[in-house]
Amino acid sequence: MQVNPLLPLPSTEELPCSDDTPVDNEDQNYIPNFLLFLLELIWAERNDWFFGVDMAVYHTTGANPRVPVVPDGFLSIGVERRKQGKSRKSYAVWEENLVVPMLAIEIVSLTPREEYDRKAEIYAQLGILYYVIYNPDYWQRDRHQPFGVYRLVDGKYQLQTREPCWMPEIGLGIGRDVYSSGNVERELLYWFNESGDRYLTSEERAEQANRRAEQAEQRAEQERQRADQLAETLRQMGIDPEN
């Protein structure tokens, strides 16, 4: 992506942080934030990435750099996690060393927002390598799949067939799975490793640690019982188990 040095570009302090378009279902905010919180666990030690949720992305590939595109979620790699120690209001490519987001995510809503055409064209022009469209409710209306990962090849997005879809340039896979909270179950998007194993949430990690602790305690108790049984057997044989 090139920037005309003669073009006066505004700073993010001057630009709106979003397009103020209201969401019409909770998944549009919930799922990208879920992916963000999960990524903070997976890449807790890394500071070279940024995941934006419903944040304006300003670029110079369109007619007006003041007109952003606003994905439901996007991931950039090779930028500061917190820019100069502060939260971003928006993402202007010219303020990020021309680092373009590597992944954009759209959650299709009741009101069509041109995810399959106009936004796809903008993301392709911008050079976003992977484009994820999650459409569990309206995929038949839109005549597409409920979940699709598209990779940019020669300027065009090509649908990837495997799920979870491994994205080697990012070092993550993405796919669907069921999330349980209390008595409520819902399908969400998750990150996966190269082997196709889903990364666990913080709650699942805690539950797994508790199970391992319980199993270790059970094994220790079994060892104590075996030791007591052996000691009793030795006593019956007239042998002092302490000697």
pLDDT confidence of residue 34 = 97
pLDDT confidence of residue 183 = 84
Domains in the chain: ranges and CATH? 27-199 (3.90.1570), 200-243 (no CATH)
- pLDDT by residue for the chain (243 residues), tens only, comes to 555 554 577 676 666 665 556 656 788 999 999 999 999 999 999 999 999 999 999 999 988 899 999 999 999 999 999 998 899 999 999 999 999 999 999 999 998 889 999 999 999 999 999 999 999 999 999 999 999 999 999 999 999 999 999 999 999 999 999 998 878 899 999 999 999 999 999 888 777 767 776 676 777 677 887 877 877 787 888 787 777
Residue with tokens 């030795």: 234
Instruction: Give backbone dihedrals phi and psi of 76, rounded to 5 degrees, phi first.
Output: -115, 140
pLDDT confidence of residue 75 = 98
Residue with tokens 């598209």: 150
- pLDDT tens, residue by residue, 168-211: 999 999 999 999 887 889 999 999 999 999 999 988 877 776 77
pLDDT confidence of residue 6 = 44
Distance CA 208, CA 196 (A): 19
pLDDT confidence of residue 206 = 77
pLDDT confidence of residue 233 = 81
pLDDT confidence of residue 7 = 59
